[in-house]
Amino acid sequence: MTVKENLRPGGRSARVQASVHKAVRELLAEMSRTEVTIPLIAGKAGVTPSTIYRRWGDLQQLLADVAVDRLRPDMQPIDAGSGKADLEAWAEQYAEEMSSGPGREMIRDVLAAQAGANACKCAEFTRQQIGLIAERAKARGEAFPDVERVMDQVVAPIMYRILFGDVPDAARVRDLVARVMDAAL
């Protein structure tokens, strides 16, 4: 789905996308995902099914596209006073959100789509958040680990355990953060 990147805000294409995304979100709130179909979405969005097929290819791609949009961070990481405290607060919230029912469904939708572009975008959002925490730490003159190391040692274990059925508790998350921070000193 590279479509949405080049939309002129307010243009026809952007309006169609907004309306279709909204229809999907509303239907997902009303019924189980297995009941959602492209004709239903089209009806609710006021577009023809063929508009949706032309633009998204299939239902799975559309669901992935909507899921990525919802996974886009809507705030800067909290400033908790130090790099370690920032990373801890961020990681605990990340683990909590991603392991929630809606969080898991969004991850599943993103990963289920055949093309990997949406999954990459998700990891990119995460990388940017860690990058912001790292910049803030450096501006304070603190040591902070490399962003890729935080991806490997904090983000990846949280996501792996959520996906493979062993949701990490706050103590485990803090332990992951402590280990990567200690290594950076």
Q: Given the rule CB under 8 A, which residues bind its own copies?
A: 108, 111-112, 116-117, 119-120, 122-123, 151-153, 155-157, 159-161, 163-166, 176, 183
Chain centre distance of CA 136 = 22
Q: In whole angstroms, how close is the CB of 3 to its own copies at the nearest point?
A: 18
The C-alpha angle 136, 74, 3, rounded to 5 degrees, equals 115
Q: In whole angstroms, how close is the CB of 100 to its own copies at the nearest point?
A: 14
- Write b or e for each residue in 78-91: b if 16 or more Cβ atoms lie within 10 A of its Cβ, otherwise e: eeeeebbbbbbbbb
Query: Which H/E stretch holds residue 41?
Result: helix 38-45
Return the number of the residue (22 or 104) whose C-beta is nearest its own copies: 104
Q: In whole angstroms, how close is the CB of 179 to its own copies at the nearest point?
A: 8
Return the number of the residue (47 or 117) whose C-beta is nearest its own copies: 117
